[in-house]
Amino acid sequence: MTMTGSENMDNPDPADFGILDGISEVIATTRSDASTPNAAPIGIIRDRDRLCVQLFSGSHTRQNAAGTGKIVANIIRDPVMYVECTFGDPGPEAFEYPDGMDYPVLKRASAWILFECNQSKGNMFELTPVRGMIRDKPMLCINRGANSVIEALVHATRYRLNGDARYLDLIRHYDKIVQRCGGSAEKEAIARLKEIMEIR
Ligand SMILES: Cc1cc2nc3c(=O)[nH]c(=O)nc-3n(C[C@H](O)[C@H](O)[C@H](O)COP(=O)(O)O)c2cc1C
């Protein structure tokens, strides 16, 4: 069942978007000073009412968030989009600019929140919600295949950093869960991940 219609909100409550205590995985969209849109998976850390992100040096997301003071959290389940945004960026056709906003969001996001983003200490950036939209609210059960795609991607990013082969074993482990529990989108996503990483 899907809620239809969309809700546009100022000063939105992140809890209404499923951003609860702990770390919530979203796809963050940002733009460069030259207005090039960017998308990458990022974890939003929530501790009571404090919201922040840890942005490591070297990513476009960090450079853009620091430069513009803004970041959008896109709530999206599409596992293939997570793979595409981890290893590269979707084309410009994947983004849109909602009314009166000069910041990109993902067209296919179920919901999004625009945050003001201020560097607090080291890699930590504090987030303040400014504006948000909920487009659809799918009723979803936990799917171990979908979760496994995300776990495999996290190990893929770690492997890219240090080349430790134990991450490849972990990716193969999560691949088995995707094959058992995932649907066609999860299977397509893990196949793409393995193709990009040349894992057989
Ligand atoms: C599920 C998931 C969560 C991630 N969370 C973060 C994060 O919180 N902070 C961060 O700096 N990178 C995180 N990453 C890694 C970035 O998404 C990755 O380095 C990406 O390539 C950065 O792209 P960009 O250069 O376009 O910003 C995460 C990756 C995945 C798969």
Give 44-93 pLDDT, tens digit per residue.
999 999 999 999 999 999 999 999 999 999 999 999 999 999 999 999 99
State residue 1's pLDDT score: 37
- In the chain, the domains with their CATH numbers are 7-134 (2.30.110.10), 144-197 (1.20.58.290)
Q: Tell me, yes or no, if the pTM score tops 0.75.
A: yes
Contact 118, 67 (CB under 8 A): no
- Taking the CA of residue 87 as reference, the ligand 1 atom at the shortest distance is 21
Q: Is 17 exposed, middle or buried (0-12, 13-18, 19+ CB in 10 A)?
A: buried
Confidence check: pLDDT of 132 > 50: yes
**For 5-12, what is the mean pLDDT?**
86
How many angstroms is it from 38 CA to the middle of ligand 1? 12
Q: What percent of the chain has pLDDT over 70?
A: 97
Count of CA atoms in the C-beta half-sphere (13 A) of 127:
29
Closest C-alpha among 101, 102, 74, 68 to residue 90: 74
List Cβ neighbours of 126 (8 Å cut-off, separation of 6 or more): 50, 51, 52, 117, 118, 120
Which structure tokens are listed for 137? 């609210």
- Taking the CA of residue 23 as reference, the ligand 1 atom at the shortest distance is 8
- Please tell me the distance from the alpha carbon of residue 26 to that of residue 109, in angstroms, as a whole number: 10
Which structure tokens are listed for 104? 């990109």
Contact 178, 149 (CB under 8 A): yes
139-173 confidence digits (pLDDT tens):
789 999 999 999 999 999 999 999 999 999 999 99
Closest C-alpha among 199, 200, 191 to residue 79: 191
Q: Which residues line ligand 1 (CB under 6 A)?
A: 25, 38, 40-43, 53-56, 59-61, 86, 89, 150, 153-154, 157
Please give the C-alpha separations between residue 191 and each of 38, 172, 174, in angstroms, as whole numbers.
23, 11, 12
- Taking the CA of residue 62 as reference, the ligand 1 atom at the shortest distance is 27
List Cβ neighbours of 17 (8 Å cut-off, separation of 6 or more): 73, 75, 111, 113, 132, 134
